[in-house]
Amino acid sequence: MNQLAILYPVFVQVALTFVLLFWTGRVRYVTLSTKQVRAADIALGEPNWPSRVTQVGNSFSNQFELPVLFYLLAVLALITRKSDFVLVVLAWVFVLARCAHAYIHTTSNRVLVRGRVYGIGALILLAMWIWFLVRLLTAGP
């Protein structure tokens, strides 16, 4: 298997993060330019943003929680050459869970459903780390 295959789900996760970044910027710009909120009201924090702006912004911020461990694992798998079919499949499932989480977060924002999807992603990521550890420990010299 091509060791670089682990990078494809990484690229999708990065793309998701950038989409949410630009979306956050857009909704903040529109909110400020239409004077729904004054710059002075949000200059020292974000509690004065309207709910929709906070919702999208929180989804963007959330991409710097679990995905950080995902990125680290992908880099380590490349460096150690321990990326395999199982790890790549799990990476795709993790990224799909992150996309579903972001979708729920920015649409219905049903907290229980969002929490379940987040939990599934966390368990998949844990499985990835365990799989990687086992591959490292069982590797020959």
pLDDT of residue 102: 98
End-to-end CA distance of the chain: 20
pLDDT of residue 121: 98
State whether residue 82 is helix, strand or coil: coil
Domains annotated for the chain, with CATH where assigned, are 3-137 (1.20.120.550)
**Quick one: DSSP state of residue 43?**
T
Residue 37 has pLDDT above 70, yes or no: yes
- Location of structure tokens 């020959």: 140
Structure tokens at 87: 């790890």
Residue 47 has pLDDT above 90, yes or no: no
- Confidence grade of residue 41 (pLDDT, cut at 50, 70, 90): confident
CA 72 to chain centroid, in Å, comes to 13
Global pTM value: 0.94
What is the Cβ-side half-sphere exposure of residue 99, based on CA atoms within 13 angstroms?
15
